[in-house]
Structure 1
């Protein structure tokens, strides 16, 4: 825990000072070969880092979609855990996946966006020194110093990518009067395989569920300390079913089947 907190502090300070340090490095006496920013005719290269679990990676989808919409010709690579490649690859949002190990030394990026990093990702940025680096720690630090409430994970991710969204971040994150967020077009799509939506609806129909009146629960978690008690899930499911007449659908991995049956 202490090591993680120390990383966040160092990462936040690096994020705050990155702009000044980059400006100094661009001075004639500090200029280095290969450190120039994107020039005309060169595609912007962006590395998004998310070394996290499935639920947190899902909150990164709006960021990837927004970057793609605002930078259609950019190269967008993702450094993440291996488990995310299979379900993210069909979305067409990422050019190259780096799973586990750092990107190849020859890979140079204009922007590094650390949605969730670690010491390895921080050292990679320091070694390659991109034109810009943004991280969640510096955003949280600035808000704390200003006495502002911390943002939801969705909003933090988008603010990390703010320089690449061309002033549209407020339109993306703003909530309408009815409480519905203005999301990037297509942000809800998670499609791969042959018409998976139809297959899901057929399966739900077989289970005699009223489409539109059900709740999906995933009671598992890869980390034991993040797991909610099975009794808590059972109590919540019972209340939703009895008070709101909602059907409950439990999903999970084969290893979690025993917990669902209980």
Structure 2
């Protein structure tokens, strides 16, 4: 297909925050290759802020999962909304639907088939039932370990796009940015020395103890004169459906009362994106927040537990990754984290030719 072609393309990515963030290089490459294309994405309602405001995308379609429904909204209403969305997607008569995920994905294929595009692009695996419905397929093999962004990017080969994926891309909402900046001004925090510290992690083995975070904040403040934004998923840890880190955050805030720290619980993804966008560097565990920070171009000190560091490290940004032999981030010492942050600053300085990345 030539660069002057104007196909209608739907990129389908239906899973977690980090997965969708790691698909933004694919989306950008499509726009660069086909500037006249009608480029749409299908995501879930929770992840939608990841692709909002992205200039590469013409239309965003989002379906709601039952677990993400609003208070008072029925499961039946969620199902009816999906039915209406599918009707709208079929009316668009897409030329290509791209099932943007690693491996052969039967659920993604069922969704693509229901939309009835002219062509379906996706990974195929020998012997898997239904692969005959993917007419523009890429056989899934991994000759070497690949980052998620690299792996998914291989789906573009049939469309004439190859090479290394570009950087991740994310664009904060203006209203959320204004709110974050207002909160920082009220606390008189310095943006040029602001470190974001995200303390929540979905996986138990990725959770660093509260006392370690507090100790690290104190050390970085003493060494670099840094100010901080403290991010976490709000709610009580005792909530079985939506556990949060309110108690952990309070423990940290109590321990660093004499240090300039803005407590910034994020009820929405918009808030998290906009808050991280204000920071000069970020400390966090592997997870969605880490990939958001990478998409915002932030240097990152990241803690990995039982996660594949080859596949999920921060893509194309300066970073230092700590993963203990036990695969439990609780075994990462504060001394190690403090030294790693100094290494991160040095790498950032080298990338930015010196002064721009310095914090002290």
TM-score tier, shorter chain, comes to 0.5 to 0.7
Alignment partner of 1:111 is 2:100:
no
Distance 1:250 1:67 in 2: 36
TM-superposition CA deviations, 1:1-36 (whole Å, max 9, x none): xxxxxxxxxxxxxxxxxxxxxxxxxxxxxxxxxxxx
TM, length-normalised to structure 2: 0.45
1:51 deviation in Å?
Answer: 1.8
Q: Tell me the residue number matched to 2:59.
A: 95
TM-superposition CA deviations, 1:154-190 (whole Å, max 9, x none): 33343333444645x44x54xxxxxxxxx48xx3532
Alignment partner of 1:216 is 2:206:
no
Q: Tell me the residue number matched to 2:108.
A: 121
1:82–1:210 CA distance, 2 compared to 1 (3 A): same
Superposition pairs for residues 48-87 of structure 1, below 5 Å? 48-86=11-49
1:242 deviation in Å?
Answer: 4.7
Q: Tell me the residue number matched to 2:315.
A: none
Alignment partner of 1:153 is 2:148:
yes
RMSD (CA atoms): 4.0
1:78–1:226 CA distance, 2 compared to 1 (3 A): farther
Which structure 2 segments of 5+ residues have no match? 65-81, 126-136, 236-243, 252-360
TM, length-normalised to structure 1: 0.58
Q: Is the Cα–Cα contact under 8 Å of residues 10 and 39 in structure 2 kept in the other structure?
A: yes
Task: Indicate which of 216, 233, 248 corresponds to 1:259.
Answer: 248
Count of matched residue positions in the alignment of Structure 1 and Structure 2: 204
Q: Tell me the residue number matched to 2:230.
A: 250
Q: Tell me the residue number matched to 2:254.
A: none
Q: Tell me the residue number matched to 1:142.
A: 141
Distance 2:224 2:124 in 1: 38
1:88 deviation in Å?
Answer: 3.1
1:97 deviation in Å?
Answer: 0.6
Q: Tell me the residue number matched to 1:20.
A: none
TM-superposition CA deviations, 1:183-234 (whole Å, max 9, x none): 48xx3532333xx55554443243333323222233234x455752443544
1:46 deviation in Å?
Answer: 1.7
1:45–1:230 CA distance, 2 compared to 1 (3 A): farther
Distance 2:192 2:160 in 1: 34
What SS class does the counterpart of residue 83 from structure 1 fall into? coil
What SS class does the counterpart of residue 89 from structure 1 fall into? coil
What SS class does the counterpart of residue 124 from structure 1 fall into? helix
